[in-house]
Amino acid sequence: MKREKPEKPNPDFPLYPHIAGKWAKKIAGKTRYFGPWEDPEGSLETYLREKSDWEAGRNPREKIEATQVVASVGLRLADGLNLFLDSCMSKIKRGELGQRSYDDYKASAEKVLACLGRHQPINDLKPDHWRKLYLAISKGNSQVTIGNQVTRIKVMFNWLLKNRYLDREPHYGSEFTKPAKSAIRRARANSGKKWFSAEELQKLLTTDHLVLRAMILLGINCAYGNGDCSQLQFDWVDLEKGWIQYARPKTGVDRRAKLWPETIKAIQTWQEKRPAINNKLIFVTRQGNAWSDPNSCDCAIAKAFQRISRDKEVWIAGRGFYGLRRTFETIAGRSKDQVAVDHIMGHVDQSMAGIYRQEIDDSRLIAVSELVRSWVFAI
């Protein structure tokens, strides 16, 4: 008896039900099958994992089979890390991981392979290997960067363990660990000043760069970073009532802040000069692009801010636009209302109180905002 083809789970589902009883798609002129009708979710995951290989003319299943053969005698580093990166790519397609995070993992994986060798069996790794790798990632890097590298590398191997590509946790030994918190604190203390004085902010605000002036005000008024300013949309800002509210892109946490009169005026002045480009972003370049790509390290805001900082003679190496956010946290803390400060900054409150708290009264947010404004402008 002929089976009736199922409907797609949703209109955006990229596969179609093939008469063979499988979800399929034509890629590079050939029909590829990704799983039975009964498992559309698993078929989609297989498609997202294999799509780039099929499009590039590679057979991803041959790669997996080869990896499985290798695993029987000892999974190689290159095969294991590629499996992890393939999983990350699937998460990107599902919107669960950003491109920038993937690039960081890939860079760490390349560091591991360059140091220990592509064909090194993972199960043969010993503390001496991890000590060698630690020395490699330590060379020329800060304590914070070293800690981030160690964390990413351990995430990769934990993924392999959880997905049963490894039968035991690697023997990292005693040295392949994140630097001690005290070492990180000392490194930060020696790295120079990371926040701005009120006098430095006043100098920066004399710039005639309309976009950067508005962004600088948002940075110190609302604790906005580069990505926050770049992704800011008209729907999120009420200039008439003087409020701004939306979920922070980095964490998804709702945040709300009272706008200063100076910030409102700066945004309005920019809007009068803004290119007539039909998109939702408040700040756009002359070409209509966003000022900062969340999936890239290339940030026009950072570059423009550095030029203005040098021009106003307040430039300090390592202190960029994000220093405005650090400054807000530093000064706003004087309000002794950390709950309101965290809400403005979009910090996640994991405490039991944070779980039960349903809202924060606007008067508390206004009080924090006015305290910082009074400090900046010596009111």
pTM of the model: 0.61
- Residue 121 DSSP class: B
* ∠ Cα 353 357 362 (to 5°): 125
User: Rounded CA gap, 156 and 102, in Å?
Assistant: 12
Q: Does domain 59-186 have CATH number 3.40.640.10?
A: no
The whole-number pLDDT of residue 329 equals: 94
* 3-class state of residue 24 by DSSP: strand
The whole-number pLDDT of residue 71 equals: 44
Question: What contacts 275, CB < 8 A, 6 or more positions away?
Answer: 284, 286, 288
Ranges in the chain annotated CATH 1.10.443.10: 198-377
- Backbone CA torsion sign across 175, 181, 182, 187: positive
| φ, ψ (nearest 5 deg) of residue 26 | -85, 120
Query: Which residue intervals of 22-59 are DSSP H helices?
Result: 40-55
Ranges in the chain annotated CATH 1.10.150.130: 59-186
* ∠ Cα 277 286 300 (to 5°): 120
User: Rounded CA gap, 376 and 315, in Å?
Assistant: 18
Helix, strand, coil content of the chain in percent (nearest 5): 55, 10, 35
- Residue 243 DSSP class: E
The whole-number pLDDT of residue 277 equals: 79
Q: Which CATH superfamily is domain 198-377 in?
A: Intergrase catalytic core (1.10.443.10)
The whole-number pLDDT of residue 250 equals: 57
The whole-number pLDDT of residue 63 equals: 53
Are residues 347 and 339 in contact, defined by beta-carbon separation less than 8 angstroms? no
Where on the phi/psi map is residue 248: left (φ > 0), alpha (ψ -120 to 50), or beta? beta
Are residues 34 and 43 in contact, defined by beta-carbon separation less than 8 angstroms? yes
Parallel, antiparallel or unpaired: strands 16-17 and 22-27 = antiparallel
The whole-number pLDDT of residue 67 equals: 47
User: Rounded CA gap, 115 and 110, in Å?
Assistant: 9
Per-residue pLDDT of the chain (379 residues; tens, 9 = 90+): 567 888 998 888 999 998 888 899 998 888 898 988 888 888 898 899 888 888 877 777 655 544 454 444 468 899 899 999 999 988 888 878 877 788 899 999 999 999 999 888 888 899 999 999 999 999 888 888 899 999 999 999 999 988 888 878 888 988 898 888 776 667 665 666 788 999 999 999 999 999 999 999 999 999 998 888 988 999 999 999 999 998 765 566 788 999 999 999 999 999 998 988 778 899 988 888 888 776 555 688 989 999 999 999 998 888 889 999 999 999 999 999 999 999 998 876 666 555 445 578 899 999 999 999 999 998 7
